[in-house]
Structure 1
């Protein structure tokens, strides 16, 4: 294809993986790829490969207008602004508006599962409103509702293994963890395709697991027993605050457990394979390959 492909947040882990797949898996010419970031110097290696690197600050409309210029297909990777409620929504709507004004022909976006009103996840409305803005723009779109990353386990697991206790309010809810790189391959495939059809995909791992099942896998891999302790959302929030987390962040993290308990994160699809041609890695295989990260 001859389209110019743009990726926002290209210095982040998902953005870099997407661009690597565009270049190495799908053999897209570097000259047709635009990588945007707030810190262009961090993408010097991509620039050296021939990728066009542009500055894009989601808080600066002028920089967004310049960043999206000339892009045929643009991937907006959701921002990580969680500290200020509503800030992420504001940033992402600005990016959608800039892409529309620049004449982007196909808009792609990384969302999350079950964004509809009523989701327990505190930032779900940011994704829902961004999805609605994309649909209202009239631009053909591809929305990727990314399931929970297996990498998310690495944030808490070192402490869990050190204490032998995993505090949760997820109950018997399940999560279909998937590897970030698997999702990136699927997203890159969607970006590199020439489809003009509007479609929404939910990207997941191949199986959904209860907290106790994940704990059993980690114990098998590390030899360290884990006791899963179920708490109420309120008690879990207080425990996180007592451990030093700011209240706002604690509430966001607990809202993930509430969504898990509600069944919002346990969907299993074959979208990764449908898009990329490769199967999602099973959780045990992923954790075994990244065993060192479990202990921190």
Structure 2
């Protein structure tokens, strides 16, 4: 999820039993890529990603901080597999699980979920750049290791002795592919049994600029020989709930998504899904399209905010170019404004619309709804 700090040109502080449904296979993914190369789709994955926003750091595609900063200033044909995960997973003989990006919010929640699932803390490696942020995990028995995607030596040390790795996508636009390559190559050397990669929803057919480096990373994984599973995450509900104070102050939600629907879910939902996949067997080659159960439009979001707050909130839809220009005028870096406008355009096209049901099946409950998230966020203001 995009998480940009407008004060530093985009640089940020770091980003019952269960029925689970597996979609896709490694062979199916390779076939789909080949079809695109033959002209069936736009073959974006094999093109080197352009650095459209130099110096712009993101955490996957978390947009809430960037949007919140602006508001005070303006009004398939794939195989299907099933697996069952008991509500308290008996621990198996796994050497260790490495969670990259554990100093960010998603990675931290994955670690917490694994601990809740009774995974012995000594079998978890929480890895990230600013390890002081997760020093408390070490006190609970979790291994804490420094991992910097730009430092191959640190990556190799972090993955030492691991069996599975959750590769949370990097945070620097234009550099993500090389950073991910560093992790994948280290996984090859260490004989990692599985990489779970947090990609973006509908990555293989998405026209969003944020999807380009995800597409290229998926290709790297295909070519690596390391078993992998794709967690194609849609938007976070927090992208919207985090900006509610500004929306309520201005009386308007502003964007460029038109009548497009987005399948947003909570960060906790995505973290629980990632943990479920790491704890399951036979995940290599699967593709999970993850998103909320109830897609919504921005107008519907505005109506829900109105109902929860007891105050009328309108949705103001602008053309993408005008929306980006307005964001720049109120202080958002040009690169960040471009990403926000392009992401809304992607929502309008349906790039973040997911109807697989994979997320709710993996977590064993309905995904958090937009209405739930809005009511909770408004009550907390």
Separation (CA, whole Å) in 1 of partners of 2:245 and 2:207: 26
Following superposition, the deviation at residue 31 of structure 1 comes to 1.2
Q: CA deviation at 1:196?
A: 4.5
- CA gap 1:261/1:244 in 2 versus in 1, 3 angstroms: same
Alignment of 1:59-208 (within 5 A): 59-82=150-173, 86-116=174-204, 119-208=206-295
Q: 1:251 — aligned with what?
A: 338
Three-state SS of the structure 2 residue aligned to 1:265 is coil
Number of positions where the alignment pairs a residue of Structure 1 with one of Structure 2: 289
Q: Please tell me whether residue 222 in structure 1 is matched to residue 314 in structure 2.
A: no
Contact 2:277 2:283 survives alignment (8 Å): no
Residue by residue, what CA displacement relative to the aligned partner does 1:154-183 show, whole Å, maximum 9, x if unpaired?
Answer: 343332221112222211101111011011
Q: Could you list the per-position Cα deviations for residues 194-231 of structure 1 after superposition, in whole angstroms to 9, with x for gaps in the alignment?
A: 22431010111111101100100011011121121221
**Counterpart selection for 2:105 from 5, 10, 13:** 13
* Bigger mean CA deviation after superposition, 144-153 or 193-202: 193-202
For 2:136 and 2:379, the matched residues in 1 are separated by: 27
Q: Answer yes or no: is the 8 Å Cα contact 2:101–2:107 preserved in 1.
A: yes
TM-score, length basis structure 1: 0.93
Query: What secondary structure, in the 3-state scheme, does the structure 2 residue paired with 1:269 have?
Result: coil
Shift, 1:291, TM fit: 2.1
1:5–1:192: 8 Å Cα contact kept in structure 2?
no
1:291 counterpart = 2:378: yes
Unmatched segments (≥5 aa) in structure 1? none
From 48, 54, 71, give the equivalent of 2:139: 48
Distance 2:314 2:330 in 1: 18
Distance (whole Å) between structure 2 residues aligned to residue 167 and residue 43 of structure 1: 36
CA RMSD of aligned residues (A): 1.5
Give per-residue Cα distances to partners, 1:57-104, cap 9 Å, x unaligned. Answer: 10101111111111101100112224xxx1122212221121222211
User: Would the aligned equivalents of 1:205 and 1:269 in 2 still touch at CA under 8 Å?
Assistant: no
Query: Which one of the candidate residues 90, 93, 97 is aligned to 1:2?
Result: 93
Matched, 1:22 2:114: yes
CA contact (8 A) 1:174 1:261 kept: yes
Tell me which of the two structures has the higher relative contact order, counting C-alpha pairs closer than 8 angstroms and 6 or more residues apart. Answer: 2
Unmatched segments (≥5 aa) in structure 2: 1-91
1:39 is matched with which residue?
130
Please, what TM-score do these two structures have when normalized by structure 2?
Answer: 0.73
- Cα distance in 2 for residues equivalent to 1:56 and 1:213: 41
Q: In 2, Cα distance between the equivalents of 1:95 and 1:288? A: 39
Partners of 1:158 and 1:268 lie apart in 2 by 30
Moved segments of 4+, more than 6 Å: none
Partners of 1:49 and 1:233 lie apart in 2 by: 47
Question: In the alignment, which residue of structure 1 is the partner of 2:19?
Answer: none
- Aligned pairs for 1:231-242 (under 5 A) are 231-242=318-329
